Amino acid sequence: AQTVTQSQPEMSVQEAETVTLSCTYDTSESDYYLFWYKQPPSRQMILVIRQEAYKQQNATENRFSVNFQKAAKSFSLKISDSQLGDAAMYFCAYDSNSGYALNFGKGTSLLVTP
Amino acid sequence: GAGVSQSPSNKVTEKGKDVELRCDPISGHTALYWYRQRLGQGLEFLIYFQGNSAPDKSGLPSDRFSAERTGESVSTLTIQRTQQEDSAVYLCASELGANYGYTFGSGTRLTVV
């Protein structure tokens, strides 16, 4: 089974600054998908960004972008111009192209300070 | 509705009782997933339904747990003879198709006392 590792249990960033959350994964597959999800205190999981492994271009969604390094099996999330509403748990997830459920990392708790 | 709906949002039950959790996915989403999230932890896969195929039950932690889904509609997760370690948030998600990304419900917080 593929493992997803988020090595930072907690991160802190000041409002308007930039923060990068790390994620690495272990797989022998060449075709797969990667996701970042946000879980605010309301506990509703929200899809932040999606990356297709066969695409070399890094995905971006407004202030959120990823640095996808396929050879290194790394998939970090960069949040630019951080806002108080970005405070949440962030989960990295691996999606096999073989029909299995998403495999999630343990999450990184992001604190945004004024 | 526009999103994935889960009910109840909170459930307190006595140890040994059975509980039934409901998930109403987005219309047209063929895949449906159940995950468990213990306090401060990540998401633990429980079961996966894809259309009319046999479900992937590989994540169910014991035979006290079962789930059903009729076609591409509502799913129910049943926990029999609840134990205190079953206390968690149970999250349901649906997906339009493979690899699109999940849409989650708000979860059911189950507390076993």
Which tokens in the block code for residue B100? 């699109």
Q: How far is B21 from chain A (nearest CA, A)?
A: 17
Task: Tell me if A100 and B91 make a contact (CB, 8 A cut-off).
Answer: no
Of A47, A97, A101, the CB nearest to B45: A101
The answer to whether the Cβ–Cβ distance between A106 and B50 falls below 8 Å is no
- Compute CA B7 distance to the chain's CA centroid, rounded to the nearest angstrom: 10
φ/ψ of A84, rounded to 5, equals -55, -35
- Residues 84-113, chain A: which have Cβ within 8 Å of B? 91, 95, 97, 99-107
Residue located via tokens 């299995």 = A100
> Which of chain A's residues have a Cβ under 8 Å away from the Cβ of B33?
101-102
- What tokens were used for A5? 């590792």
Single-letter code of the amino acid located at B20: E
A90 or A29, which is more confident: A90
Q: How far is B48 from chain A (nearest CA, A)?
A: 7
pLDDT tens-place string over residues A63-89? 999 999 999 999 999 999 999 999 999
Strand residues in chain B grouped as ranges (E): 5-7, 10-13, 19-24, 31-37, 44-50, 65-69, 75-79, 88-95, 103-104, 108-112
pLDDT in tens, A15-66: 999 999 999 999 999 899 999 999 998 888 999 999 999 988 999 999 999 9
